[in-house]
Amino acid sequence: MLDSARQRVLWGIGILVVLLYALIPVLWIASLSVKPVDKLTDRKFFSGEISFDNYQSIFKDDTFIAALVNSIGIALIATLISIVLAAMAAYALSRLDFAGKTVILSGALAVAMFPPISIVGSLFDMWRSIGLYDTWAGLIIPYMTFTLPLAIYTLSAFFREIPWELEQAAQVDGATPFQAFRKVIVPLAAPGVFTASILVFIFAWNDFIFANTLTSTDNARTVPAALAFFTGGSQFEQPIGAISAAAVVVTIPIIVMVLIFQRRIVAGLTAGAVKG
């Protein structure tokens, strides 16, 4: 691949540009979050003084704690339900031949392509009249409409890669269909399940439109929406430091998840199952 020094240098420069482009805003937020209030506008990356006041203040704030709990709970539940449903749907779609298969797949794609902004207005009215407004379920349901198609598509691609013979071999070896699914198919589809889970979790975690429109109190408001309602210590104080600290805090779970699961998302896990 890297056969000459020239190529290596060019690659290095390219990677550096991409890294700077992607990481400078993140670093800027991180640096803002550890600045004392009076240094916030000093236009320096590093002001020489590190203070964790902002973090202390947001974790003393009930609104933020409630939002964090909401975010974690809603994203996890949405992910769990989506993945379980999507795994079963994708398994059926990749293994069975039934009438209306293409309709289901294209329907799922159509739903996923719908811009969220176009449905929040009517959802707002509907949720208020049926009592889902400002509840966890009120957010989980719309999240699932967008995450399910995504998960179904990702997972069915993975299931299709698993040779059908493996399952048949397991059945002949004496496994019940469920044992075959659990002991052979699931371990092999694990990278797919993790990939889909991460995508779904990130979608639910990052959403702002639904969270902002369909909630009004700490009952169900998630962190991205809660950030918009942050206020400073007094009416004259800018809450920039607190917002930055909160932004860093909500980024951490995503980073941790990706770091944990990226090791499991290894391609070629099914290598060696079948010849050629």
Partner 1 sequence: MAKITFDGVTKRYPDGFEAVKDMSLEVEDGEFMILVGPSGCGKSTALRMVAGLEDISDGELTIGDEVVNQKAPRDRDIAMVFQNYALYPHMTVRDNMGFALKLHGVDKEEINKRVEDAAKILDLTEHLDRKPANLSGGQRQRVAMGRAIVRDPSAYLMDEPLSNLDAKLRVQMRTEVSRIQNRTDTTTIYVTHDQTEAMTLGDRVAVMRAGVLQQVDTPMELYNRPKNLFVAGFIGSPAMNFMPATVEGDTVKLPMVDVRLPEELRERVGTGGEDGSRELIAGIRPENFEDASLLGDDTRDRGASFKVTIDMIESLGSEIYAHFSVSSDKAIESDELRELAEDSGAGEVPGGGEAGDIVARLSPESQVKKGDEADIFIDASHIQLFDPSDGSSLTA
- Closest distance between partner 1 and the C-beta of residue 265, in Å? 15
Q: Confirm or reject binding of residue 168 to partner 1 (CB under 8 A).
A: yes
Instruction: By CB under 8 A, name the one of 30, 80, 166, 209 that touches partner 1.
Output: 166
Beta-strand (E) ranges in the chain? none
Sign of the CA dihedral running 191, 192, 198, 201: negative
Integer angstrom CA distances of residue 14 from 3, 4, 266: 16, 16, 25
User: Which residues have a Cβ under 8 Å from the Cβ of 240 and sit 6 or more positions away?
Assistant: 32, 40
Q: Give the single-character DSSP code of 139.
A: H
Cα 67 vs. chain centroid, distance in angstroms?
A: 17
Instruction: By CB under 8 A, name the one of 41, 56, 106, 176 that touches partner 1.
Output: 176
User: Nearest Cα to 33, choosing from 49, 12, 55?
Assistant: 55
Q: Residue type for 267, please?
A: A
Q: Confirm or reject binding of residue 169 to partner 1 (CB under 8 A).
A: yes
Instruction: By CB under 8 A, name the one of 51, 171, 206, 251 that touches partner 1.
Output: 171
Q: Confirm or reject binding of residue 25 to partner 1 (CB under 8 A).
A: no
Region near partner 1 per CB under 8 A, out of 41-49, 70-78, 124-132, 170-178: 170-178
- Closest distance between partner 1 and the C-beta of residue 168, in Å? 5
Q: Confirm or reject binding of residue 101 to partner 1 (CB under 8 A).
A: no
Region near partner 1 per CB under 8 A, out of 27-35, 38-46, 229-237, 268-276: 268-276
Place of tokens 């699914």: 181
Compare residues 223 and 269 and give the one whose CB is closer to partner 1. 269
User: Nearest Cα to 74, choosing from 214, 171, 188?
Assistant: 214
Q: Confirm or reject binding of residue 272 to partner 1 (CB under 8 A).
A: yes
Q: Confirm or reject binding of residue 19 to partner 1 (CB under 8 A).
A: no
Residues in the chain: 276
Cα–Cα distance between 172 and 123 in angstroms, integer?
50
Cα–Cα distance between 67 and 151 in angstroms, integer?
26
Q: Confirm or reject binding of residue 174 to partner 1 (CB under 8 A).
A: yes
Region near partner 1 per CB under 8 A, out of 38-46, 52-60, 169-177, 254-262: 169-177
Contact 209, 120 (CB under 8 A): yes
Instruction: By CB under 8 A, name the one of 42, 49, 125, 173 that touches partner 1.
Output: 173
Instruction: By CB under 8 A, name the one of 188, 196, 242, 246 that touches partner 1.
Output: 188
Which positions touch partner 1 (CB under 8 A)?
163, 165-166, 168-176, 179, 183-184, 187-188, 268-276
